[in-house]
Structure 1
Amino acid sequence: MIPTCILGLRSSFLNRSRLLVAGLVRYQSSSIPLVQSSATALARQLNAKIKSTGPITVADYMKEVLVNPTAGYYPTQESIGAKGDFITSPELCQIFGEMIAIWILNEWQKVGSPKPMQLVELGPGKGTLISDILRVFKHFDQLKEVSVHLIELSQKLREAQAKLLCSEANLGKDDAQQLNITSGFAQVECPIFWHHHLSEVPNDAFTCVIAHEFFDALPVHKLKKTEQGWREILVDIDPNSPDISFRYVLSREPTPMSQLYKPEEGDKRTELEICPSAGALLQNLADRFTEDGGFLLLADYGHNGEKGDTFRGFSNHQLHDPLLNPGSADLTADVDFNYLSRCLKSKALTFGPVTQEKFLKSLGIEVRLNLLLQNEKLSAEHKKNLKSGVEMMINPQEMGKRFKFFSIFPEILADHLKKFPVLGFD
């Protein structure tokens, strides 16, 4: 997810000073004081947990802050849009979703348009992206034998998605599996299912998976290279604060993650962020695609294995200390696409990352914009918003360079995709 302030984010924020204290590393941002009051309901829960079990990993902290069912950020906060903490490309402009739909149709038809086909979106937000995709599918009469599967934990967001997508919606709070609701806007019986986990999506159909600004919210482990080897950065209670506050410390001994992870040969970074849940998810998808057919399109901000410390928080479109007031702000870390590619080695074909500017331009976003601007039925204000939205998405100084696209296909398509390269990645 990208707040408006990150468009001008300076790299200096990501270079934090380190301080050795009593055998533990405690590092602080030069611009944000670390010791601050954090007396939220979730802070009290975390405080009790750390007191009973000791310092926790950044991954465990991130997971609790984002998805704790009673006090986590996503279940309780309005995160997307001007009133939230970040803005996404689908919310900026309808053309983004249209380009994604064109890409899906192109790659699906390239392998023979196998049916039935499942459209799966991981973390669909308010449902804007999948709504735009379905509108394009309807325009090209491609909704027959297509089902939609939304992987969403937040009850609040499920209700927003159902309101946008469905003519009838009755989402019960106790529904643990999925619901089958007919899409009203499409005027076609397109079944839409809600799931809590990818494992609930049936395995017996061709599957296209979309993940837009989803992987950046998956929990990361933070590792630091020391004279004794790799050690894990943990979250602990700050004993020097009169209120409930947290600080980073360095594990005295190797942790399971610091022992299991082996950096790539030639990697000179002294700090790393590892997301094993992302690797496991993609490996699961690779197996699914090999067995039943399918592909994934992933869009997120990230890097190709050159960055080390990107973990941060955002609140009201501003940078926010991730240890302050847990549950009140979005937490995120840049996606390491090199790590994802390594996780999929010999399991799937990977394409990218390529910049959002390159990807969207290769799909013809500027041509589509010009066609819409010639539409006399659109108001001047609408046209202005379309132009500014596209400009923000493809401008290298804004979203164009920072956001990346990445895709995976089953190995069996290697020769086929050499003859017919994946659109946007050739």
Structure 2
Amino acid sequence: MWRRTGFDGSVGAARAAAGLFLLAGVLAVLGIAQPHSRTRDLLVVAVADFGIAAAAWWVPWQRLHPRATVALAVAGLAVLAFSTWAFGGTASGTGPFFVLLFAWVGLHHPPWIAYALAPLTATAYVVPLVATHQPPEVVGSAVVFVPVVTAVAVLIAGRVRQWRDARAEVAAAERWRASLMLTLAHDVRSPLTAVQGALELLDEDADLPPERRARLTAAALRQVARIARLASGLLDVGRVEDGVLRLDLRAVPVRAAAHDAVSLTPQADAVIDVDPGLTVTADPDRLEQMLVNLIGNAVRHGAAPICVSAAAADGSALSITVRDHGRGVPEASVGSLFSRYGGDGSAHSVGLGLWIVRELARAHGGDLTYEPADPGARFVITLPQQGPAQGKAAQPNG
């Protein structure tokens, strides 16, 4: 979650630190002009602050570890420790800068960084007070002060994390909407073109042989059915999210469903290995939708041959497997395969992603899982052979 540092990476964190230390240096210089000021000590503080600001600005932080900017906080604590000691143990002048430093930590680092810096902060605060022989009640203020500045960082870090999560969710939702638009643009245009071509031929050539006319009509009707399935799939997204998807359960021959799904998937070079007598209690349209989606996914991301197989998993369950022989799913992507907003934002299939396939499988009382193959990827739909209770609504997950 915290792979990057703060709002805009290590460089952004360093730039913010540069501004903070530049401000501290300028205030130290202004302090020199005050009467009865400790010029030498203030000069040391100013030079140190300006030096840290310069390092924060000029060091190529993007080439270093994302947490390397924590070194700026450590350097800042050293300057604050010196300032507290130099000015006779007066922490009131340095206290605001402790708070500002930890606010910066919270803005640009995860909470554990603040906890890790707490012991060093206590040392930077307490040792100068002890060294300047401050009364016990002043030294004891560290019991309150250090937890307070740590809490400031932790609270800010928590809010930043919520903001980052919200921003990521909005971006993912936008990608999802763009994906739906791409689905419509890609999957509606192709069947509409086929329907238009068939109708033009029927209109232009009144003397077409009956067999040719019947083939054109059947082809046009298949494409119209494809558009209807796409529309149904789009509606299913809302139904699944609202938990109101209803299933029309009946005994479905699995081999026939697999053949239909392959015929509806352009360029699918698929081998079907399913016992002709194997059936499952399912909603035929939703089962077809799941298979079309998985086969289309294998066509786009895998390699031929694509194998569709089915077998009884045990006495009460059935597994339907769609396997390709491509490169498989990268390990880094496995965790988000079935995410609501998973994927790369592209959509070139009648289906609407692995997320909805899994939700439809769960609506049937089953599930969708991924297994690496050698080579390729294997997606397995597991369904109870008797199906869920009649008319069960799909409950959204994830």
Shorter-normalised TM range: under 0.3
In the superposition, the TM-score normalised over structure 2's length comes to: 0.24
| Larger strand proportion of the pair | 1
In the superposition, the TM-score normalised over structure 1's length comes to: 0.23
| Larger helix proportion of the pair | 2
